[in-house]
Amino acid sequence: MSCAPGPPTYRLLDHLVGWDHLDVCRLTDPDDPDGIQLAPLRGTGPDRGDFLPWLPDPRLAPGCGRCAWYLAASRRGLLRREPCGGWQSAWSAGCDPGLAGRTRAIAARGHLLAVAIGEAVYLWRREGEQLAAVIPGRVTALAIAPWGEILLVRDGSVDVSRYDLAGSWLGRITTGMTGSVEALTTGRALAPDRHCTIWALTEADGTWQAWRGTRGSRDPFQQATPDELAAVVDRTGLTAVTDQGFCLTEPGPDGDPVTRCLSWEAEPLDSLSPGAATLQTTGQLLTRAIDSGQPRCRWHRVRVDADVPPGTSVLVAVSTSEEPTPLGCRPWLPTQDCPAGPPNSDDWQAGGAASADFLVDQPPGRYLYVRLRLTGNGIITPVVHRIRLDFPRVTSASQLPAVYTQDPAAADFTERFLSLFDAAFEDADRAVERYPALLDPGGVPDEVLPWLGGLLGLSFDPAWDATIRRDLLAAAPALYRGRGTPAALRQVIKIVFGIDVAISELATDRSWAALRQASELAADPSFAPLRPTAQLGATRLFSLSRARFRVGGSALSSAPVRSFGNPDDDPLTAQANRIQVLVPSSPGRGGPDPAALRQLVMTQAPAHTVAEVRLGGFGLVVGVWSAVGVDTALAPLPAPVIRPSGPPGAAQPVTLGRHSVLWPSARGSWAGIRPGAGLAVGMNTVAQ
């Protein structure tokens, strides 16, 4: 507090410091990092609500950003909610395909939108403006994978079918799951590769189970816990779903969580009426005697950090005592089937059901008792993350003349009155102290990342997820220092697409030759890297009249017509300021989007350069410049057999002179590569 004479002390109650609980009644484990909540009615396993924030209802799909959502409304059709804004039709005026009441499941990622309608899945680009593919089949769950695939589960099946973004079938993953698949999503892999795991939610006889698998493994999916799911899949703001509607808990205008409930037509609801109850309706936590270490301590303030959805409440009560077990208490007086706890039930001071910050109006005492009570409607639950206890009472009243505190009643009123202003000053000081945390790309919420990128001059593609954006922000200082260099360009591509590329500067590969050096180049040593050199067998010799058309020097149709530059400078300027970005091939894994990669290279390459993106192939092209690992694949050759075909699996016959290499005899020796010697493929070299 800005006006306090000295720094106050405080005690936290949370899962990190500990709740010092004496008794817990119908609540979850206080050591749960997610906070204290009302316990489930069934203790035999997780229910649908345990997976809801990561595996939403098929009628809902999170869009780009934490606050953007898609909703399949039965009457209004497909709706889209802009980040933290209102709901509107996902289609432009006059372009509604008439999907109201027919949508079974939806999925979104970046600008891609997939909708299961009747007997087919429709994939749109640009958030519904361009139809890209139609996949036939009745689907119960679908997802758009970050590696550029559509994953779907057909009605009556538990296997995952894979399609590319053009609607072509890529294969089927046999999962081995049991029950009916209710939701599907993807997440970060437990291995070093990112975004390679597939998660599914099944239901069988009222039992909900999460499953985890990978797209490249042939092993069946494995059962997973909600904690494993939460570790690799981004959490959404969806907190409750009933037949009446759903609830979203999102940051409000001041940053505090706000819960809003809506019907399935996106109409606001005060709360969700109880349906099939899955949670306890009341619960309580009692603490032990919390020791301040100060005799006759005047406890000052209680602050509660909690998420309280509509229809629920959190009630905190406190009581003080000079002894750890006050005399005359009735420790097990039942209240709502939960013990009231020490001290006497008449000595508790409650802060009010809607109060998250109140002053302690209790007699001085070294020990403080805290009682926490949660209520809900059986569908949704409040969540208490932390309670802060400030002591001793230190206010700005100590800065006033003594006349204001001589009378005990007047002093108490003055302190309580000035505490209102002290709290406002403290909140302002706390906001200033915490401002540097907004500059931490690893700790800010997802919706703050675009703002943080704007401070650094970074613009994000809507298709980039939060992980890519955080990595770019963390690497921004190094990227700015090396901007325009091959190393920085490689790093940006590595962060965004997760691939290692080779960058070739074509100026170093000029094919010009000269038998002698120009006098002006020989006189200046700084031009040494630009001197064209000739090497027999490695450089093609031709005259200047072949590089560009010259009147009186070039034959028709033998040289290009160029209207720029000095012809005498062609040996120095040919291929200058031109680079190639070479992308290795990735058979079976799918490569990056070529258009997106070219756009990224264009924005990161120096303005005076011309960049070309070349995707790797699967073989060596003789006579064309190639890069090992990009255009080539070294693999063992099949054993040559000069005889008719044998049984299946045997070595195939070869024809001399056509794609055949004869191995030496068992007593022969392999030819190798000798550096510095002239080499001929197939004569001095052997690829095995």
Residue 335 shares a structural domain with residue 222: no
Q: How far is Cα 302 from Cα 317, in angstroms, rounded to an integer?
A: 9
Q: Which residue has the higher pLDDT, 172 or 206?
A: 172
Q: How far is Cα 158 from Cα 155, in angstroms, rounded to an integer?
A: 8
Phi, psi of 656 (to 5 degrees): -60, 135
Q: Which residue has the higher pLDDT, 436 or 660?
A: 436
Residue 201 shares a structural domain with residue 314: no
Task: Tell me how far the alpha carbon of residue 121 is from its chain's centroid.
Answer: 25
Confidence of residue 314 (pLDDT cuts 50, 70, 90): very high
pLDDT value of residue 662: 59
Residue 79 shares a structural domain with residue 222: yes
Q: Which residue has the higher pLDDT, 234 or 651?
A: 234
Percentage of the chain lying above the pLDDT 90 cut: 12
pLDDT value of residue 6: 45
Q: Of 394, 421, 437, which residue sits at a domain end?
A: 394
- Cβ neighbours for 43, distance < 8 A, ≥ 6 positions apart: none
Q: Is the pTM of this model over 0.95?
A: no
Q: Residue range 159-173: average pLDDT?
A: 89
Query: Domain for residue 28, yes or no?
Result: yes
Residue 13 has pLDDT above 60, yes or no: yes
CA angle 440, 442, 446 (to 5 degrees): 100
pLDDT value of residue 679: 47
Residue 566 has pLDDT above 70, yes or no: yes
Q: Residue range 181-202: average pLDDT?
A: 72
pLDDT digits (tens, 9 = 90+) for 573-616: 666 788 888 888 765 556 788 888 888 888 888 888 888 888 87
Confidence of residue 5 (pLDDT cuts 50, 70, 90): very low
Q: How far is Cα 356 from Cα 384, in angstroms, rounded to an integer?
A: 11
Supply the angle between the helices 486-497 and 466-481 in degrees, to the nearest 10.
170
Confidence of residue 70 (pLDDT cuts 50, 70, 90): confident
pLDDT digits (tens, 9 = 90+) for 625-673: 566 666 665 555 556 666 555 555 555 566 665 555 555 555 555 445 4
pLDDT value of residue 389: 92
CB atoms near residue 84 (< 10 Å): 14
Residue 260 shares a structural domain with residue 288: no
Residue 151 has pLDDT above 70, yes or no: yes
What type of residue sits at position 658?
A: R
**Residue 145 forms beta bridges with which residues?**
149
Q: Which residue has the higher pLDDT, 549 or 457?
A: 457
pLDDT digits (tens, 9 = 90+) for 336-361: 456 655 677 778 888 877 778 888 88
Contact criterion met (CB below 8 Å) for 507 and 578: yes
Q: How far is Cα 306 from Cα 319, in angstroms, rounded to an integer?
A: 21
pLDDT value of residue 1: 34
Contact criterion met (CB below 8 Å) for 541 and 513: yes
Give Dmax (Cα) for the chain. 118
Query: Domain for residue 222, yes or no?
Result: yes
- Cβ neighbours for 543, distance < 8 A, ≥ 6 positions apart: 553
List the domain range (segments joined by +) for residue 684. 635-688
Residue 265 shares a structural domain with residue 282: no
Q: Mean pLDDT over all residues of the chain? A: 77
Contact criterion met (CB below 8 Å) for 389 and 10: yes
Per-residue exposure over 666-688, b if at least 16 CB sit within 10 Å of its own CB, e if not: eeeeeeeeeeeeeeeeeeeeeee
Residue 385 has pLDDT above 90, yes or no: yes
Confidence of residue 510 (pLDDT cuts 50, 70, 90): low
Residue 112: exposed, middle, or buried by beta-carbon count in 10 A (0-12, 13-18, 19+)?
Answer: buried
pLDDT value of residue 153: 92
Residue 215: CATH number of its domain: 2.120.10
Residue 332 has pLDDT above 50, yes or no: no
Candidates 541, 540, 557, 559; CA nearest to 549 is: 559
Query: Domain for residue 112, yes or no?
Result: yes
Query: Domain for residue 42, yes or no?
Result: no
Q: Which residue has the higher pLDDT, 435 or 178?
A: 178
Q: Of 242, 269, 296, which residue sits at a domain end?
A: 269
Q: Which stretch of DSSP H or E encloses residue 603?
A: helix 594-604
What type of residue sits at position 683?
A: M
Q: Residue range 192-209: average pLDDT?
A: 76
Confidence of residue 335 (pLDDT cuts 50, 70, 90): very low
Percentage of the chain lying above the pLDDT 70 cut: 71
Structure-token match 């229809």, residue found: 311
Residue 237 shares a structural domain with residue 345: no
Query: Domain for residue 262, yes or no?
Result: yes
Residue 297 has pLDDT above 80, yes or no: yes
Confidence of residue 676 (pLDDT cuts 50, 70, 90): very low
Residue 251 shares a structural domain with residue 324: no
User: Of how many residues is the chain composed?
Assistant: 688
Q: Residue range 473-486: average pLDDT?
A: 90
Q: Of 225, 248, 269, which residue sits at a domain end?
A: 269
Phi, psi of 108 (to 5 degrees): -145, 150
Residue 31 has pLDDT above 70, yes or no: yes
- Cβ neighbours for 451, distance < 8 A, ≥ 6 positions apart: none
Residue 72 shares a structural domain with residue 24: no
Q: Residue range 26-37: average pLDDT?
A: 91
What residue spans of 320-448 are helical by DSSP H?
408-434
pLDDT value of residue 284: 92
Query: Domain for residue 331, yes or no?
Result: yes
**What domain count does the chain have?**
3
Q: Which stretch of DSSP H or E encloses residue 480?
A: helix 466-481
Q: Residue range 240-246: average pLDDT?
A: 85
pLDDT value of residue 619: 54
Query: Domain for residue 38, yes or no?
Result: no
Residue 68 shares a structural domain with residue 95: yes
Q: Residue range 30-34: average pLDDT?
A: 89
Q: Residue range 223-234: average pLDDT?
A: 84
Residue 337 shares a structural domain with residue 235: no
Residue 89 shares a structural domain with residue 189: yes
Contact criterion met (CB below 8 Å) for 491 and 478: yes
Q: How far is Cα 106 from Cα 119, in angstroms, rounded to an integer?
A: 14
Q: Residue range 89-103: average pLDDT?
A: 64
Residue ranges with strand state E in 119-244: 120-125, 130-136, 139-145, 149-154, 160-164, 169-173, 180-187, 197-204, 207-214, 222-224, 238-241
Q: Which residue has the higher pLDDT, 380 or 47?
A: 380
Residue 386 has pLDDT above 90, yes or no: yes
Q: Which of 230-239, 259-268, 412-421, 576-585 has the lowest mean pLDDT?
A: 412-421
Q: Which of 74-88, 536-550, 564-578 has the lowest mean pLDDT?
A: 536-550
Confidence of residue 372 (pLDDT cuts 50, 70, 90): very high
Q: How far is Cα 330 from Cα 482, in angstroms, rounded to an integer?
A: 71
Angular region, 665: left φ>0, alpha ψ -120 to 50, beta rest: beta
Query: Domain for residue 640, yes or no?
Result: yes
Residue 195 has pLDDT above 50, yes or no: no
Here the tokens at position 565 are: 């530059």
Residue 120 shares a structural domain with residue 190: yes
Residue 484 has pLDDT above 50, yes or no: yes
Residue 228 has pLDDT above 70, yes or no: yes
